[in-house]
Amino acid sequence: MFKVIEKCPLCGSKKWSKIIKNNKNIYSFFLAKILNLNEHYILNNLKNFQCSNCTLIYKKKWPLRKYIKKIYSDHQPNHPGGLNTLKKNFGKKKLISLINKYKDFAYNKNYELCEKSKREIIKILNSTENSSKNFIKIKNYFIEKLNSDNIDYVNKNYLIISNMIKKPKIYSQFSGFRSNEISEYLRSTIKLKNINSYAEIGCPLWGNYDYFKKSWIKRYFIKINEVNFWKVDRKKKENCIKYLQKDIKVASNLNKIDFVGIYNFIDHLENPLRLFSNVFKDINYYGLICEDYNLSKKIDCQHFSSWNYKSLSFLSKKIGFKIADKPLRLGNSIYKYYILKKNDK
């Protein structure tokens, strides 16, 4: 079921210093179903280890390729984090439709879909930008009642709470990775005039294409076949690629690109170094967004690795780059933005 990873995928050292446990989430739930094993047993196998040499956190056991494939083909074929950045998936209307679905599923005793709509409702509520004490109190109480399936309470109160939903929190799943703060950071670190091409890899929807929308910049999306990630496929019913801006070209491999944005992607890769040697050839800058364990205090079981300043410095050195500036913590989120600059730039 699992393969064993003997040494650090970044530096090759076999020494490790710390073990970090995983929490249950939807992916441990899927894996339990696919492997027909107890969820705790799976989480225990997917524990995280920190390399004593380069500080990369990685998993020493990892599900075989065919099982990972199943997650992204059968169980979670659509990328919620990408599609949720579309306006139609957030707001009062969306919440009301989810509540109605929840009530139907609860009434028909469809446990799995009932739990799914609950998770989606809670995700919207927790991603709502509204810091008033009143909202937070009402929201927390509503979530508590929803979690205990108090349908009467939900029925009487969902309109009140849905009227309080205006816009999503910055850097929440419904906003993606674009903000004035990121634009400001890019402006202070790189000269846009020197950028003639910009590409992103991973999800076509949650990145920062708009900042690079200039008449002299060609924009691309790099499509690769990564097993531990959502598939990019125009033939699928709901797929992020269908909403990519029309003038952004899709390519599978590009020789020269000035700036590549890699947002929340390298933590999915079993062999991160291969990305930098096989897919990318002549790049001047990388913009990387990584979840920071010291901020999040968690590592999700579907993420193969977790990166910090030290491991990213190690990676930079190995590929002939250096970290350009102090990384930017995105708002008060769990993410940091790093710019890697080619050594001769």
- Give residues in contact with Zn ion (CB under 5 A): 8, 10-11, 13, 51, 53-54, 56
Assess contact for 242 and 78: CB atoms under 8 A: no
Least distance to Zn ion, CB of residue 301, Å:
20
Least distance to Zn ion, CB of residue 262, Å:
19
Q: Which is nearer to Zn ion, 58 or 229 (CB)?
A: 58
Least distance to Zn ion, CB of residue 229, Å:
23
Q: Which is nearer to Zn ion, 8 or 31 (CB)?
A: 8
Q: Which is nearer to Zn ion, 218 or 318 (CB)?
A: 318
Least distance to Zn ion, CB of residue 52, Å:
8
Assess contact for 176 and 205: CB atoms under 8 A: yes
**31 closest CA partner among 305, 302, 300:** 302
**Using CA atoms, how far apart are residues 255 and 247, in angstroms rounded to an integer?**
19
**Using CA atoms, how far apart are residues 84 and 75, in angstroms rounded to an integer?**
17
Q: Which is nearer to Zn ion, 53 or 333 (CB)?
A: 53
Assess contact for 175 and 85: CB atoms under 8 A: yes
Least distance to Zn ion, CB of residue 49, Å:
10
Least distance to Zn ion, CB of residue 315, Å:
10
Q: Which is nearer to Zn ion, 73 or 271 (CB)?
A: 271
**Using CA atoms, how far apart are residues 251 and 82, in angstroms rounded to an integer?**
19
Least distance to Zn ion, CB of residue 63, Å:
22
Least distance to Zn ion, CB of residue 172, Å:
32
Nearest 10 degrees: Cα torsion 72, 74, 75, 80: 50
Q: Which is nearer to Zn ion, 13 or 271 (CB)?
A: 13
**Using CA atoms, how far apart are residues 173 and 289, in angstroms rounded to an integer?**
14
Q: Which is nearer to Zn ion, 53 or 84 (CB)?
A: 53
**Using CA atoms, how far apart are residues 281 and 199, in angstroms rounded to an integer?**
13
Q: Which is nearer to Zn ion, 11 or 290 (CB)?
A: 11
Least distance to Zn ion, CB of residue 311, Å:
7
**Triad 136, 138, 139: Cα angle to 5°:** 60
Assess contact for 340 and 321: CB atoms under 8 A: yes
Q: Which is nearer to Zn ion, 10 or 34 (CB)?
A: 10
What are the CA-CA distances from residue 255 to residues 9, 260, 280, 287, 326 (Å)? Answer: 25, 12, 7, 17, 28
The amino acid sitting at 97 is S
**208 closest CA partner among 24, 66, 335:** 335
Report the b/e string of 142-162 with b at 16+ CB within 10 A: bbebbeeeeeeebeebbeebb
